[in-house]
Structures are given as structure tokens and as C-alpha cells.
Amino acid sequence: MDFQVVVLAGGNSKNLTPLVSKELPKPLLPVANCPVLNYVLHQLEQSNLKDLIVVVEGEDAALLVGAWISGTFIDRLHVEIAAVPEDIGTAGALRAISHHLTAKDILVVSGDLVSDVPPGALAATHRRHDAAVTTMLCSIPVSGPLESGSSGGKDKAKKLGRYNIIGLDPSKQFLLHIATEIEKDARISKRILHAVGQMEMRSDLMDAHMYAFKRSVLQEVLDIKDTFQSLKEDVLPYLVRSQLKSEALLNRTPQGEENSNEKVSSQNNQAFISRILANASTPSFHGLYSENPDGSSSTRKTHKCCVYIASSSSYCVRLNSIQAFMDINRDVTGDADHLLSPNNIIGPSPKLGTKTTVGPNCRLGEGSEMGDKCQVKRSIIGRHCRIGSHVKAVNSVVMNHVTIGDGCIIQGSVICSNVQLQERVVLKDCQVGAGFVVTAGSEYKAESLAKKEK
Amino acid sequence: MGAQKKGATARVSEDPEELARHPLQAILLADSFTTKFRPITLERPKVLLPLVNIPMINYTLAWLESAGVEEVFVFCCAHSKQVIDYLESSEWSSQPNFSVTTIESHNSISAGDALRLIYERNVIHGDFVLISGDTVSNMSLTQALQEHKDRRKKDANAIMTMVVKQAKPSPITQQSRLGTDELFMAINPVTKQLLYYEDKAEYSKGFISLDKTLIADNPSVILHNDKQDCYIDICSQEVLSLFTDNFDYQHLRRHFVKGLLVDDIMGYKIFTHEIHSSYAARIDNFRSYDTISKDIIQRWTYPFVPDVLCGSSAIKVERQGTYRASDVTLSRSAQLGSFIFIGQGTKIGNDTKISHSVIGERCTIGSNVTIEGSYIWNNVTIEDGCQLRNAIVCDGVILKSGAVLQPGVILSFKVVVGQQFVVPAYSKVSLLQQPTQQDSDEELEYADSTSGTGELRSDKLNGDIAPDLSETASELGTGGVGYIWKVFEGAYDEEWRHSVAPIPTDKLVKLMLDRDEDEELLTQDGNVISASGELKTDSDGNGSEDDDNEDSRDDYVSFEKEVEATFLRAVHENVKVDLAVLEVNALRLSYNMASVDCGGAIFYSMMKLAVESPHNSASELHRNAADIVTTWQKLLKSFLHDIDEEIEVILKFEEMCLESAKEFAALFPQILHLLYDKEILQEDAILRWADEKEGADESDKVFLKRSEKFIQWLREAEEEEEEEDE
């Protein structure tokens, strides 16, 4: 397939501090002991999409990500790593690497997507319709941020992915309207309604940040609209809005558009009317719409914006908040454990002390040791952790090389790498940044603990 | 009120057997409360107008009877006596299982009044069908009724089920077919609840706004532009009491449905029932009269077609959809085309051609007459050589030989058209004079009081027509009788839309192109190139500014464009400064702008002109600007009354230098100086601008720094002055 994949892996996401750091950029954030980027790359590999550009924000992060990819996916994927400056937005990142894009169609996928929807299906839909853009929509995750948890990331998480208003045509193939996070009433253009007749407005779908673009369209939009920052907020809505009236964007020369309107002569009118009447059922409203009153077809340019709607049973969540991080870790070890790729197999069994119980839906990394009478429920423990006795870990994520003293109780928290929890620490709904030391006996609730940035 | 309603609710929500005991009732509004069928309806109520030679109300009643309705209340207002007389003499008064009761009112002006009156009579005891007497349908009510009842059992607030039908697919035919306004509806696809209804399209608005709670509450909403409202409603009793509660509700759709949807009255809900294969449509205007007549002739409405409805064998259907009564006298050389109806006792002369038309009873049609797509009612005399295209000709009309009716003509009762007279397209001709007082607000479409008096007058007219004859002879040719009604301004555009004549092709194309233009405007909405040249609003969606702001800014953008155009015209045509000032002032008033905005806009136009005039170097540009400022300083000055307005000009200039006319950036201090020299800007304004800018960001101070010298000089000059003063 002549598809080039751009993975927008991001860098140091502010939403995810203190989980991410200079040493651990967002793409390498472990989900069930496996970097989040792995999930996307694995899906791409499964769909036989092997020509990749991974875009990372920041040079240092790019080096780290590059090192990991070459270590893991060598011989399996053809990956280029591109570093772009931070905070230039998704559209900006694409603009920066635009000259690397050569294939006919470009698949853009967010590096923080944990999903079992095959990217190949999206690519196929895109090709089938010869669309300018195809976007993947998935159901808003039920286990999402709204009901579970009460961590600090909640408000942000609530905003994200909520109230996407999406307009679809009756066949659910075309995207007619998209708006995000409306504060006010939704405004729907009547023009597109005229063209389509009926439009289904959905608010239970979300944009999964996986898009297929026609390269020429993408490059021209990025070129002309140099203020566009975000794919989701700017580029996609723009393409959707202008789909019945492409502004000469599509690499077709705007030949005679001006005079064709004037040429409407009365003899052509007749033909025009008869065609309107004959067009009782048209395969696509785009086709009908592009017919011009003067009889020549498609001087009025249209382009198609398509959708691929993932089935409601599929899993599709973006890791863009701490809450999402917790959810994904829970789901990946629980309901959605088919996502764990084969290379994710747990190493040699960790050493467990006597009377220590590890409940279902847990992952223990290789080389970790646990003392006596520990309880681990619905939690993930990374590699080479040392956990003392009488430790209770529930609904938590513990990364690598963490030392946990005796009698600690950890609930709903994230413990980053190299953290040291001294004896009898009690954490509830906390995030502990890498390398932090929590002193003995301290108790925290819903706090974010991290070393001061120098 | 509350108690009554409770009683009603309790009764309806009782078990189905209880419900079944009530006979199914229907309210038939025999008055559409509109004026669209004038002038004909001044003399005869709309429901009695013949539709393929049978009064409209018969179609409605026949359908109600076949659909299982047992009791019909016919509400009559205008010409109520005619309706009552007709019903009493008709077969409907003597049907065994179908009772027709008339309710008469003389002062109702709307459907709302009618329903309030019916509520007072207390005759409706359960769910009822609400329909107007001009509806043709053959749908089966069973399913819709069942759905309605099932919903009621689950949710007592589901008080109404509206019948909708898929309209024709093409965007053009949707509108042109029935001549109705375009309709937008939002329906929940699962529950079929109606969430939004907009029938009088607000043409100025290119978008529909759905309430956000509506979207939040319904994960999926389908917006329809492709549905047609059949105006058949299954209602529960609450509908009547709601009309009584909300005494301001007049129009069924515009007030009642919208009120329920928008105001969320007591949580009442409206649902829709879509019919697919059956027929339902309402005769709302002359265009739908034409369309539905054709549908009837083509038997889409079977079994409600003329030969079945008449019952007897009087009418025979022949090939090509020709309906012919038994005793038609037809000349051998007459040519009858397809899809025509010819009523009893009609005589047709030699070489007459008729196609796609309906001709009533006892008409006399001469030789060499051409009739196409026309509706000729009873007792009409058409003399030799007349030509009729897409016209409606009422009872008793006489067309003298050689008269021509152009498309869209309506001839009301007993009009006489003189010899060789050509009645211009879309004319409405009546023996009655046009009511001088046109409803000021036609949107409301209330039947005004004249419909009552019209009846009286027509009675009088029938008595002594003779005196009128001579007076009006001139208007319809020699020997003609009748007044040609004037088309009111504004209504003229609508004439072709509602006319019986097909929409001319050029109008159709125009309609299509208009829509295109609308779109262009709309696209611009999302993507306005503002006068200052920056690319606007593509990112607006992410909302740095809210909508109100956006609107006013859009206004400003178009205002600025207008000013620029005015200015350029002034320059090219050497318009006097005074005139230009007047024009800009007029613009300012029409856009509701302040004079601050005018100053900015004029200055912007001037500078833009300077940039656009050919120049090779900065100094030439400076000279261009100087020339223009010198020539037009008076124009600019007349909008700069105080310091604030002058500061606005400086800010505007700064904005230009940053965005649209970067060439000026280097010249900023020079131009500033120029403006000072020309006394367009006072030094106070410049200094205050400088002071204001002092506190701004570094990036904002670029131009301040550049003009530092000049400002320094100004300050010193000021101090010197002050010293001198001392």
C-alpha cells in the first residue's frame, strides 16, 4: 500500500506531569510495563503499514524514542525519527516534516493511542472513497474519565473527548460536520443539509486522532493556512467545512471556474433541470452537488471527508491525561488484555514472599521482589522493584526500579521509576514523579509529588 | 385547569380496553386560515374547491372514514354556511358508522382559536386526529395510532404524533414540488421524538442552531431537510387544553409545535411517524393544488381517485390516464393528450388540444382552443381560439374568443375576459375588488375579517353584476368583467414559487445559484479575509472570541469593505469631498457604526490605495501616501472629532503595518509626521498613543520605538510651548 504513516508521538506532555520527564518522554510511558508507543507501532505492523515517520517533540526525547524503537522494532518496521520543536501543534509538526512526505496518502496517528482498531481498515476506507481525509471515530469509552476516579486530572479529562459533535450522512460514510467542545448551541450549515437531505448528529463518538489524508491536500492546506495549529481543531474542520467547495486546493487547476458560471445559457438550463429530475437517487451527494448548471460536471469542486467508525466493541483510548493513564492500565490488564502484544510476555516470575497474594488483572515485571504478606490487586508493578512486607497496592501503577518500604499502602496512585517509598507511607490517588523519595510514615491524598525541576 | 388535565391524563393512561371504547375522533379544520387561495376563497371556502372535480373536503372525509375514524368534527369559520350546507346535502350526513358534526364559529382567526373553541365544547374524549380539510391521503392510521398509544402508555407526556413523509430527493424538487417553504427537522432516530422544527426558513441564516442540551441528551440526532410535513397529527386531549392554556398559540406548527419544542412546556413531547409507501399531502397553495391534482389523476392516491370516489359509472378511465364522463360531447378532430379529466356535459369543439388538464362539468369549449396544464372548473365557456397554459379557471368564467391566459393566471368566479385579451402571467382576476387593506404581516396568515365580508359582498354581487360590467370593462379587454389584483411588492418574488404554473427554468437555476451564493457567504463566514488582511476566524472555532463579538466584527469587516469601495469610487470619479462624507455617513448609519470606525476605515482605504498605486521605492510610496492624504484630508478629518478617534487611526495604522501593508512599516514615523503636518492628528493624540503604548509588550512597541525621535520632538515642542506660555 502506498501509505506513509506519521506517528505523532509527542514529547513532554503537560497533562501528564509528573509522570513524564526528560528521561521518560510521553511515548515511552509504560502501559502495563510496555511503552505506550509500542501499542500503536504494533497495530501498524499488524496492518502491514511499515513505512513510518515518528515525530517527537524535542531533540532529547527524539533520541530516547529513537533508541527504543531501533532496539525493539529493528528489522520489523522502517522507521524514521524526526524531532520537531515543542508546542507547534499537530499541524505544525506535520508542516515541519512535510518535505518527507512522498506517498500518495498519509496516515497520521497519534502516538498515545491505545486501540485494537486496525489502522489498515481506516486506510482501506480512505482508498475506497478516494477521500481527501478520512478520520476514525470511536465510541466514547465507557470506562472513561467521567465516572471513575477523582484524581486531579479529571477536569481536563472531562473536556477532552467530550461533546464531539459529529455529523454523518445516512450511510455513515461521510463526515459532514464536526465541532468540538461546544459551549454554545451547535450550528449546522444548511448548505450541506440541502446537499445531503439528512444528517445524523452524533455526540457519542469521539475523534480517535487517527487520520488518513491525501498527501496533496494535506500539504496544500498546511501550506496555505499557515496559522493552522492543530489537525483536529483546524485542519479537519476546515476540510469538512469546505468539502462542497474546495478552494482549488486539490492540485487541480482552477480552470475556467469563473466563466463557467456565466455560461449558463438557457438551452443548458433544460438539460440541467432534466438531470436534476433524473437524479432521483444518486450514489453520492458529492457527485450530484458537483454538477454544474452549465452541464459540464465537476467544475464545482468537492472533496470527500470520510469516516471510519470503529465498532463499539473495540477498544480505543488516548493516553492524554493521568486519568486516562490509569484507565488504560486497568483496561489493558483487564478487559482489553488482547492488546498486550506477544513481546509483552512477563519475564521470569518475580520472587514473592510468603502469604503474599497477587490478585487477577495484575502485572509484575521481571526481577521484582516482594516481601511477606503483601496484597496486590488490579495493579501493575514494573521491573526490578523491591517491595517490602505488608505492602498493599490497589488500582495502582508502579514503574521500574521502585523501592517500597514495609507497610506501605498505595491506592489509585502512580509511582514513577526510581521512586523510594519509605516505611508506612500511605498514598491515595497520588502521582509520584521519578526519583522522588517519600519519607517514612507520610500520608498523601490526591497529590502530585515530584522533584523540583532545576 | 390543572384538575381537568389530570383527569384527561388519567383517562388516557388507563388500560387499552378502556381506550378502545372511545370511538376514534377527528377534528377537521375546514378553514386553513390563510389567504393563499385568494381571490377564489373570497367567494367559496377552500375546502369546497374542486380538486379533480370533487370538493377537497371529500378526499379528506373519505380518507378519515376509511382510516377507521368514527366521529368527525368539522370546524368551519369562513363561509361556514356554505360548508354546512354542502355537508348537509352530501352523502356524509347519512353514513351509518361515520358521523360528521359541524362546529361553526364566526370570530376564529386561527387554528388556535378553533381548537380553543372545540375544547370549550368538550366533545373530544380521547385521542383524536387533527387534520385540515385540504389534505389528501391514503395512509393507514392503524400503525401510527398504535405507536401513539403505546408511547402514551409509557410516557404520558407524548401528546402528539406528527406524520411525515420522505420528500423527493433532489434539493430543488423538494421545494418546487409542493411550493412549501423548506423544512428542517431534527428527530431522534431511536425514539422518533421531534426535537427541532423550522419551517419558515430564515433565509438570512445559513445555519441551524441546535441547543447543546438537545445534543447532549440525545447521543444521536438526525437532521432532516428531506422530509415533508403531511399536516396529519394524532393528538391527545392535552393538545386542546394546551391551546387553551397558551391563548397566544395561533398557528399549529409555528406556535404550538415550536412552543412545545422550545419552551419545553411541562415536558410534553412530540413524536413523528414516517410513512413510506402511502400518500399524504396538503394543498397549501396553488402549486400544491397543481401537484396533488396530477398525483390524483396518476392514481397515487388510490383509492381516492375520481372514478372511485364518484361511485357511479359516470366516469371512465381510459388509456393514458384520461378520465372521461359518460356524456361528453367531443369533436372528432379534438386532440386529447394524456392525463386529463373531462367532466359531465362538457362540449369540446373542433381541433381543440387538451393535455394535462382538468375540465369540469357543463363547460363549453370552442374550436382551436389550446389547454395545457390548466384547471377549468364548472360551467366555463371558452370561445374559439383561446389559449390557456397553467391557469386555474373558476366556475362561470367566460373567455371570449382569442383570449390568452399566460402561465400562472387565476380567474375567479364569473370573470369575463374580453376578446383577444392577453391576461399577463401570474395575474389574479376576480369580480371582487382586492381588499385594500392587505394584511400587514403576511407571515401570520390569519384570515382577516374581509373573508367574512367578502361573502356578503359576493352575495350582493351575484344579485347585480350589471352595474359593474361597464366600469371594469377596460381592465380585461372589451367586454371583460373583473379586476386584476395587484401584486404587492415583496410578494412578487413569491408569486412564481406558489403559482400553479411550473417554476420557470431560469428561476430554478437562479434558485440553485442563489443557494451557491449563500454558500459563498457562508464559507466566508468561516474564513473571512478581514480588511486588515489577516486571515481570520479559521481558528475562531477554538473560541478566543465569542460569537457576539464575531458578529459585530463581521459587520465591521463588511462595513470597512463598503467604505473602501465608496472611497475608491470617490477617487476614480472625482466625487466631491462633501458628497463622499455624506456617503460614508450613510454607510455608518446603515451599519450602525460609530464615527471612530469611519475614521479607521477611511484611513485604511487611503493607505491601501497608496500601497496599491504603483511605486518602486519607499520614498515613492511615501509620496503616494502624501498625495492621497493631501487630497482627502478633509474627508478623513470630518470623522475625527476627538482625540480618541485620532488614536484609533494610529492604532489602525499600526495594525496595517503589522499585517496587510508591511511596506508601511519602514515609513511609520514619516507617515505619522505627515498626518501631524496635515493636522489630521493632533499632537495630543500622538502623545497619548505613545503613553498608552509605553506599558505594552515589547513586541507591541516596535512602532513606538521607530517613531521615538518624532515623539521626542513633539514632547520638546510641547514643553517649549508651555514655557512660552509661561
> Would you state the pLDDT for residue B370?
93
Same domain (yes/no): A322, A360: no
**B73-99 pLDDT, tens digit each:** 999 888 888 989 998 888 888 888 888
The nearest CA of chain A is from the CA of B540 a distance in Å of: 9
Same domain (yes/no): A320, A356: no
Tally of helices (H runs) and strands (E runs) in chain B: 25, 36
User: pLDDT at residue A157 above 50?
Assistant: no
Confidence of residue B551 (pLDDT cuts 50, 70, 90): low
Chain B residues close to A291, C-beta within 8 Å: none
Domain assignment present for B257 = yes
Q: At what angle do helices B547-572 and B577-591 cross, to 10 degrees?
A: 160
Same domain (yes/no): B320, B282: no
Same domain (yes/no): B248, B378: no
Confidence of residue A329 (pLDDT cuts 50, 70, 90): confident
Domain assignment present for A335 = no
Can you tell me the distance from the alpha carbon of B222 to that of A201, in angstroms, rounded to the nearest whole number?
6
Same domain (yes/no): A53, A96: yes
A311 or B146, higher pLDDT: B146
Number of A–B residue contacts, CB under 8 Å: 150
User: pLDDT at residue B404 above 80?
Assistant: yes
Domain span at B179: 25-286
Cell numbers given for B679: 493636522
CB-based contacts of A329-338 (< 8 A; 24+ apart in sequence): A329/A31, A329/A32, A329/A380, A329/A397, A330/A143, A330/A361, A330/A378, A330/A395, A331/A143, A332/A31, A332/A32, A332/A114, A333/A32, A333/A361, A333/A362, A333/A363, A333/A378, A333/A380, A334/A361, A334/A378, A335/A143, A336/A116, A338/A116
- Across the interface, whether the CB atoms of A234 and B512 are under 8 A apart is answered no
Can you tell me the distance from the alpha carbon of B242 to that of A227, in angstroms, rounded to the nearest whole number?
53
The answer to whether B47 touches B55, Cβ cutoff 8 Å, is yes
According to DSSP, the β-strands at A186-189 and B207-210 are antiparallel
> Would you state the pLDDT for residue A263?
35
B413 or B598, higher pLDDT: B413
ipTM: 0.72
Can you tell me the distance from the alpha carbon of A206 to that of A314, in angstroms, rounded to the nearest whole number?
13
Domain assignment present for A64 = yes
* Residues present in chain B in total: 726
Same domain (yes/no): A74, A23: yes
| Amino acid letter for position A240 | V
User: pLDDT at residue B5 above 50?
Assistant: no
> Would you state the pLDDT for residue A383?
83
* Residues present in chain A in total: 454
Domain assignment present for A184 = yes
> Would you state the pLDDT for residue A295?
39
Chain B residues close to A288, C-beta within 8 Å: 170
Mean pLDDT of B9-16: 45
User: pLDDT at residue B516 above 80?
Assistant: no
Q: Which of B2-11, B558-567, B647-656 has the lowest mean pLDDT?
A: B2-11
Give the CA diameter of chain B: 116
Number of alpha carbons in the 13 Å side-chain half-sphere of residue B494: 14
Domain assignment present for A275 = no
The torsion angles phi and psi of B690, rounded to 5 degrees, stand at -60, -45
**Rounded (10°) CA dihedral A165, A171, A176, A177:** 0
Count structural domains, chain A: 2
Can you tell me the distance from the alpha carbon of A138 to that of A318, in angstroms, rounded to the nearest whole number?
11
Domain assignment present for B7 = no
Strands (E), B246-313: 269-275, 280-282
Same domain (yes/no): A83, A229: yes
Same domain (yes/no): B326, B382: yes
Same domain (yes/no): A364, A233: no
Sign of CA dihedral B302, B307, B312, B313: negative
Chosen from A262, A276, A285, A299 to mutate, greatest number of chain B CBs within 10 A: A276
CA-based nearest residue to A387, from A430, A423, A346:
A423
Domain assignment present for B455 = no
Mean pLDDT of B677-697: 78
Domain assignment present for B226 = yes
Domain assignment present for B115 = yes
**Rounded (10°) CA dihedral B421, B427, B432, B433:** -100
Domain assignment present for A118 = yes
> Would you state the pLDDT for residue A141?
63
Same domain (yes/no): A116, A85: yes
The nearest CA of chain B is from the CA of A293 a distance in Å of: 7
Confidence of residue A277 (pLDDT cuts 50, 70, 90): very low
Can you tell me the distance from the alpha carbon of B345 to that of B608, in angstroms, rounded to the nearest whole number?
78
Touching check for A196 and chain B: CB below 8 Å? yes
Domain assignment present for A265 = no
Same domain (yes/no): B317, B282: no
For residue B320, what is the domain's CATH number?
2.160.10.10
CB-based contacts of A151-155 (< 8 A; 24+ apart in sequence): A151/A322, A151/A323, A151/A326, A151/A412, A151/A429, A151/A431, A151/A446, A152/A322, A152/A446, A152/A448, A153/A15, A153/A321, A153/A322, A153/A323, A153/A324, A154/A323
Shortest CA distance from A233: residue in chain B? B542
Within 10 angstroms of residue A349's Cβ, the number of other Cβ atoms is: 9
Shortest CA distance from B223: residue in chain A? A199
Cell numbers given for B55: 370538493
Can you tell me the distance from the alpha carbon of A296 to that of B669, in angstroms, rounded to the nearest whole number?
55
Same domain (yes/no): B255, B373: no
The answer to whether B294 touches B188, Cβ cutoff 8 Å, is no
Q: At what angle do helices B618-637 and B595-612 cross, to 10 degrees?
A: 150
For residue A39, what is the domain's CATH number?
3.90.550.10
Same domain (yes/no): B63, B177: yes
For residue B711, what is the domain's CATH number?
1.25.40.180
Count structural domains, chain B: 3
Domain assignment present for A297 = no
CA-based nearest residue to A433, from A445, A424, A422, A420:
A420
For residue A363, what is the domain's CATH number?
2.160.10.10
Strands (E), B5-125: 25-29, 50-51, 54-55, 71-76, 99-104
- Across the interface, whether the CB atoms of B541 and A233 are under 8 A apart is answered yes
The torsion angles phi and psi of A130, rounded to 5 degrees, stand at 50, 50
Mean pLDDT of A281-305: 51
Cell numbers given for B547: 460569537
Mean pLDDT of B299-314: 79
Domain span at A411: 346-449
Can you tell me the distance from the alpha carbon of B389 to that of B377, in angstroms, rounded to the nearest whole number?
15
A452 or A156, higher pLDDT: A452
User: pLDDT at residue B444 above 60?
Assistant: no
Same domain (yes/no): A33, A123: yes
Q: What percentage of chain B reaches a pLDDT higher than 70?
A: 79
Shortest CA distance from A278: residue in chain B? B170
Cα A178 to Cα A32, A142, A166, A200, A235: the distances in Å are: 34, 21, 5, 11, 11
Peptide bond connecting A350 to the previous residue in cis, omega within 30 degrees of 0: no
Same domain (yes/no): B324, B407: yes
For residue B64, what is the domain's CATH number?
3.90.550.10
Can you tell me the distance from the alpha carbon of B554 to that of B530, in angstroms, rounded to the nearest whole number?
8
Same domain (yes/no): B256, B350: no
| Amino acid letter for position A438 | V
B676 or A14, higher pLDDT: B676
Can you tell me the distance from the alpha carbon of A266 to that of B93, in angstroms, rounded to the nearest whole number?
54
Domain assignment present for B81 = yes
| Amino acid letter for position B613 | S
Same domain (yes/no): A408, A307: no
> Would you state the pLDDT for residue B161?
92
- Write the CB contacts of B600 (distance below 8 Å, at least 6 apart in sequence): B560, B648, B649, B651, B652
Q: What percentage of chain A reaches a pLDDT higher than 70?
A: 77
Query: Rounded to two decimals, what is the model's pTM?
Result: 0.67
Same domain (yes/no): A314, A389: no
Out of A182, A189, A266, the one facing B206 most closely (by C-beta) is A189
Q: Which residues pair with A179 in a beta bridge?
A: A165
Q: What percentage of chain A reaches a pLDDT higher than 90?
A: 0
Can you tell me the distance from the alpha carbon of B107 to that of B113, in angstroms, rounded to the nearest whole number?
8
The answer to whether B271 touches B484, Cβ cutoff 8 Å, is no
Can you tell me the distance from the alpha carbon of B498 to that of B189, in angstroms, rounded to the nearest whole number?
32
Chain B residues close to A188, C-beta within 8 Å: 207-210, 223
> Would you state the pLDDT for residue B359?
92
> Would you state the pLDDT for residue B699?
67
Same domain (yes/no): A368, A238: no
> Would you state the pLDDT for residue B237?
87
Cα A430 to Cα A303, A427, B134: the distances in Å are: 48, 6, 71
User: pLDDT at residue B558 above 70?
Assistant: yes
B591 or B300, higher pLDDT: B300
Can you tell me the distance from the alpha carbon of B180 to that of B178, in angstroms, rounded to the nearest whole number?
5
Same domain (yes/no): B235, B350: no
Same domain (yes/no): A175, A81: yes
Touching check for A187 and chain B: CB below 8 Å? yes
The nearest CA of chain B is from the CA of A148 a distance in Å of: 20
- Write the CB contacts of B583 (distance below 8 Å, at least 6 apart in sequence): B566, B570, B575
> Would you state the pLDDT for residue B376?
93
A182 or B544, higher pLDDT: A182
Same domain (yes/no): B162, B231: yes
User: pLDDT at residue A324 above 70?
Assistant: yes
Mean pLDDT of A128-135: 86
Can you tell me the distance from the alpha carbon of B709 to that of B713, in angstroms, rounded to the nearest whole number?
6
Chain A residues close to B219, C-beta within 8 Å: 202-204
- Across the interface, whether the CB atoms of B208 and A190 are under 8 A apart is answered yes
Q: Which residues pair with A53 in a beta bridge?
A: A6, A80
Confidence of residue A344 (pLDDT cuts 50, 70, 90): very low
Can you tell me the distance from the alpha carbon of A322 to that of A327, in angstroms, rounded to the nearest whole number?
9
Same domain (yes/no): B138, B282: yes
Domain assignment present for A285 = no
Confidence of residue B3 (pLDDT cuts 50, 70, 90): very low
CA-based nearest residue to A382, from A396, A400, A394:
A400
Domain assignment present for B15 = no
* Helix or strand (DSSP H, E) at A236: helix A236-241
**A292-301 pLDDT, tens digit each:** 444 333 345 6
Sign of CA dihedral A275, A280, A284, A286: positive
The answer to whether B115 touches B243, Cβ cutoff 8 Å, is yes
**B452-480 pLDDT, tens digit each:** 433 434 444 443 444 444 444 467 777 78
User: pLDDT at residue A44 above 80?
Assistant: yes
Same domain (yes/no): B269, B318: no
> Would you state the pLDDT for residue A286?
54
Mean pLDDT of A83-97: 85
Can you tell me the distance from the alpha carbon of B34 to that of B446, in angstroms, rounded to the nearest whole number?
6
> Would you state the pLDDT for residue B724?
57
User: pLDDT at residue B256 above 90?
Assistant: no
Can you tell me the distance from the alpha carbon of B48 to that of B720, in angstroms, rounded to the nearest whole number?
94
B535 or B611, higher pLDDT: B611
Domain assignment present for B461 = no
Shortest CA distance from B198: residue in chain A? A190
User: pLDDT at residue B18 above 60?
Assistant: no
Confidence of residue B364 (pLDDT cuts 50, 70, 90): very high
**A207-246 pLDDT, tens digit each:** 888 899 888 888 888 888 888 888 888 888 888 887 776 5
> Would you state the pLDDT for residue B203?
52
